[in-house]
Structure 1
Amino acid sequence: MSPAALTPTPAPAPVQPPKSNGVTTMSTGKRPTEVPHPPRTAFAFDPLEDALAAFARGEFLVVMDDESRENEGDLIIAGALCTTEQMAWMVKHTRLTGGWGSGYICIALPGERLDALEIPMMFPDNQDPHRTAYAVTVDYKNGTTTGISAHDRALTARALATSTAPSDFTRPGHLVPLRARPGGTLARRGHTECGVDLCALAGLPAAGLLCELVNDDAAGSMARRDDCRRFADRWGLKMVSVEMIAGWRRAHPEAGL
């Protein structure tokens, strides 16, 4: 895969919305449209070039991590572009077939971004088995109410991508920041680092919104590879893996991510 094939694709120029403290308060992205009868084919990931182009347009991706790790699929979208409509859809489809899920939405950010916004770690001694680095939850102050609605969480995500003022946020809140490890997917093969790397490859602010997919069964079991492929096909989404992102970075150190 050549570096030219993965030249960052600029996001489409948005309609100029009202702004507050430099943060976009409206956006125009649409939720995915269900495909009535998706084709059933042998499992395959989508080409990375196609996935990055979709991501830069503000579309969701389904991203798998390694089968030897969590073996889970996450929905990931650029935080800078996420709309209220897309956030509502994301909350709903944390359950595979459309039931309402937990809506545990996180946003992956570089450590220096969290430091600049004065958002500390949730707990100093990280005991998570996969070392997921949870930070203190936040809400954006301007134009939000309780912080839990799709509107409020989408606005908070866009603010985390673009705001420069720690005072713009209340702590605790309803959106969960995750601290990405320096080096991205080359340092840790997690969805957190993948969310930040995807934004960098797409030429967008480094803020990747993500949420785990679970099955609509009695146990609410995690969606595995084939489950996630069916979900992606059903909603017309591109599906890639953390390894595909890490592999491209290994092959192209000159990209300087």
Structure 2
Amino acid sequence: MSTPQSAHPGEDADDDAARAAFAAGAFVILVDDEGAVLALPAAAASGATVAFAVRHSSGMLHAAAPSALLDALRIPDQCVLASENSGLPFTVAVDAVGVGTGISARDRARTMRVLADPRTVADDLVRPGHVIPVRCSDGGYEAQQRVWERAVDLARAAGSAPVVMMCRLVDANGDVRDGDSAAAFAAAHALPVVRVLRRVPVLQGVE
């Protein structure tokens, strides 16, 4: 799975390279403090891209999307025990109406595309399913400095729907890839890398 848009694959890409990748329907790797994430505009999802993502992750695919969109599609948040709370605002998993089992690469790609389609209404989705949306701030990365919002902002900037297929990249041992490991993976697959940093608020009177 290669993309031609980064002159230096595996190195930190600027926003232009990441936007170009998303505009071309190609993968971008985002790296935050928790490790690397593989991201693709949901509108560009296909059986091949989902299979690639599953092969290089734990197999759990998320659809990062603005809160207002998930509300419009009547996708509720998951109810979890406090002991099971990961801190991420997961919603109930969904499938597109009319898919098969919902778990195949082709079925999950169809669900991703339906989530990204501006014509989609709540009745176009069944709950529960096999794609797990992540509720993102409507204010984007400016409002919530997380890798999920960063990806949604990149999709918007690329002219794509603000829904992004995302999964944590793992290595052969099943461990989440860190920055160095992600850079090696990116170089091997010609993918741009974007570092996502949390902004630390400046306190008044502190220099």
Contact 1:110 1:180 in 2 (8 A): yes
CA shift at 1:187, angstroms?
Answer: 2.2
CA distance in 1, matches of 2:56, 2:150: 20
1:117 and 1:232 map into 2 onto residues whose CA distance is: 34
CA–CA separation in structure 1 for the residues paired with 2:147 and 2:59: 17
* Per-residue deviation, 1:168: 0.9
Deviation at 1:183, TM superposition (A): 1.7
How big is the alpha-carbon RMSD for the aligned residues of Structure 1 and Structure 2? 2.3
Distance 1:47 1:116 in 2: 33
**Aligned match for 2:192, one of 227, 235, 238:** 238
What does the per-residue CA deviation read over 1:38-90, in whole Å, with 9 as the maximum and x for residues that have no partner? xx99x84122211210111000001011x3xx2x1100000011111111111
Match among 178, 203, 211 for residue 134 of structure 2: 178
Which runs of structure 2 are paired with 1:182-221 in the superposition (5 Å)?
182-217=138-173, 220-221=174-175
Q: Is the 8 A contact 2:30 2:37 kept in 1?
A: yes
Instruction: Letter of the 2:105 partner, please give it.
Output: A
Asked if 1:153 is matched to 2:120, the reply is: no
Q: Is the 8 A contact 2:111 2:131 kept in 1?
A: yes
After superposition, residues 57-72 of structure 1 pair within 5 angstroms as 57-65=24-32, 67=33, 70=34, 72=35
Paired residues for 1:86-235 under 5 Å: 86-94=49-57, 102-123=58-79, 128=85, 131-142=87-98, 144-162=99-117, 163-217=119-173, 220-235=174-189
Counterpart-to-counterpart distance in 1, 2:139 and 2:81: 21
- Name which of structure 1's ranges 144-153 and 46-55 shifts more when overlaid on structure 2: 46-55
Residue of structure 2 in register with 1:52 after alignment: 19
Q: Note if contact 2:53-2:59 (Cα within 8 Å) is conserved in structure 1.
A: yes
The 2-side partners of 1:119 and 1:84 are apart by 24
Specify the SS of the correspondent of 1:74: strand
Deviations 1:206-238 (A, max 9, x none): 101100011212xx2221000000000000101
Conserved 8 A contact 1:116-1:164: no
- SS at structure 2 position matched to 1:45: coil
**Which protein has greater RCO, CA pairs closer than 8 Å, 6+ apart?**
2
Give the TM-score of the pair, scaled to structure 2: 0.86
Tell me the amino acid that sits aligned with residue 132 of structure 2: V
* Long gaps (5+) in structure 2: 200-207
Report the CA distance between 1:111 and its aligned residue: 0.8
Equivalent residue of 2:43, what SS? helix
Contact 1:137 1:171 in 2 (8 A): yes
Share of identical aligned residues, percent?
Answer: 34
DSSP 3-state at the match of 1:89: helix
Question: What is residue 17 of structure 1 aligned with on the other side?
Answer: none
Paired residue type of 1:57: A
Secondary structure of residue in 2 paired with 1:173: strand
Aligned length: 193
Q: What CA distance in whole angstroms lies between the structure 2 residues aligned with 1:123 and 1:46? A: 37
Kindly state the Cα deviation for residue 33 of structure 1 after the two structures are TM-superposed. 4.1
Alpha carbons 1:198, 1:208 under 8 Å: kept: no
